[in-house]
Amino acid sequence: MMDKGEYEELLEKAYTELPAIVKETTRFVTPKINAMIQGKLTVVQNLGEVSKLVNREPDLLAKFLLKELGTSGSIDGQHLTLKGQFRPTQIQEKFEAFLGQYVLCSECGRPDTKIMKEERFTFLKCEACGSRHPISALKMPQAKEGGAKVEIGEEITVEITRTGKKGDGMARMDKYIVFVSGAREGQKVRAKVKNVQGTMIFADATEILKK
Ligand SMILES: [Zn+2]
């Protein structure tokens, strides 16, 4: 029979050996996005917190969410305000897609990764298993001067300075070239944006302001 002293000694030994093992096998727990619809906007209230938990810049996560949800928005400290109404589950889904692409290693599934840039390429490098995978770099949404984005359906005012090959009026607006159908050189028009491609805007004239 073991005496009381021996038993306690064994127990103590077991305890001191246990914690390290338990700690190492802790699984990655997907953080939960906390979002609330406020009128015509949706506020992600814990953008800063979840970014920190997955060790990524809030800005990168914000860009991904805006792109995937097809909307515009702004970061204000911990919060991300999105234009439009989005259900929390919808945002959570996109957040999990972000984890799959920009955080979790596709070899071993661990979140211990770093984003690395080499020349024109961006990689996700895993510090747990050493594997490396290319990822697509996220670009900022197209912005005109002042930071606002030109959106389809938006009305703009431009002065037509040239005539395009197809007879459309052409104008410059910030960094954009605007093609306006139904407008001629020399006119100042209001036009409705029907398409935006890179730095080109295609619009239909809705009102001639100056002939
Ligand atoms: Zn890995």
**Tens-digit pLDDT profile for residues 61-90:** 999 999 999 999 999 878 999 999 999 999
Q: How far is the CA of 101 from the centre of ligand 1 (A)?
A: 13
State the pLDDT confidence band at 53, using cuts at 50, 70 and 90.
very high
Q: How far is the CA of 128 from the centre of ligand 1 (A)?
A: 5
Quote the CA–CA distance of 34 and 92 in Å, as a whole number.
9
Question: What is the average per-residue pLDDT within 144-152?
Answer: 59
Quote the CA–CA distance of 199 and 142 in Å, as a whole number.
8
Higher pLDDT, 148 or 48: 48
For residue 183, what pLDDT is reported? 93
State the pLDDT confidence band at 33, using cuts at 50, 70 and 90.
very high
Three-class SS state of 11: helix
Q: How far is the CA of 100 from the centre of ligand 1 (A)?
A: 12
**Residue 2 pLDDT > 90:** no
Q: Which of 208, 150, 159, 147 is nearest to 185 (CA)?
A: 159
Domain residue extents for the chain: 32-103, 107-140, 155-210
Q: What is the mean pLDDT of the chain?
A: 85
**Residue 134 pLDDT > 70:** yes
What CATH code is assigned to 155-210?
Answer: 2.40.50.140
Phi, psi torsion values for 150, nearest 5 degrees: -85, 125
**Residue 140 pLDDT > 60:** no
Q: How far is the CA of 20 from the centre of ligand 1 (A)?
A: 21
Q: How far is the CA of 33 from the centre of ligand 1 (A)?
A: 25
Q: How far is the CA of 108 from the centre of ligand 1 (A)?
A: 4
Q: How far is the CA of 122 from the centre of ligand 1 (A)?
A: 16
- Provide the CATH topology of domain 32-103: Alpha-Beta Plaits (3.30.70)
Higher pLDDT, 84 or 13: 84
- pLDDT single digits (tens) 164-192: 888 899 998 877 889 999 999 999 999 99
Higher pLDDT, 133 or 140: 133
Question: What is the average per-residue pLDDT within 140-165?
Answer: 71
Quote the CA–CA distance of 29 and 145 in Å, as a whole number.
41
**DSSP code string of 62-128:** HHHHHHHHT--EEEETTEEEEES---HHHHHHHHHHHHHHHTS-TTT--S-EEEEEETTEEEEEETT
For residue 24, what pLDDT is reported? 47
**Residue 22 pLDDT > 50:** no
Q: How far is the CA of 132 from the centre of ligand 1 (A)?
A: 8
Fold equal for 32-103 and 155-210 = no
State the pLDDT confidence band at 30, using cuts at 50, 70 and 90.
very high
The two three-digit tokens of residue 139, written as one number:
């670009």
